[in-house]
Amino acid sequence: MNRIAEVRETLVARAKIAEKLGRPALPEEIAEAFGLPKHKVEELLPTRSPRLSIKEKSVTAE
């Protein structure tokens, strides 16, 4: 399976688990459902950095 397909399937699994549990899925839960080690799931999931507003960015830049 290519990397794009792995990422897509991991995201789908995350969404299904979150819907079932009513909360965001943990990497461990995704790994178990997907049959992958936790570190592989963490590698495949996109990372999200905290979003800052323009106002927050200008304050921290001063």
Q: What are the pLDDT digits (tens) for 3-61?
A: 888 888 888 989 999 999 999 999 999 999 888 899 998 888 876 545 555 665 544 54
For the domain bounded by 3-61, which CATH number is listed?
1.10.10
pLDDT at 6: 85
Contact 27, 41 (CB under 8 A): yes
pLDDT at 22: 95
Q: Is the pTM of this model over 0.85?
A: no
pLDDT at 18: 93
Burial of residue 48 (CB within 10 Å: 0-12, 13-18, 19+) is exposed
Domain ranges of the chain: 3-61
pLDDT at 10: 86
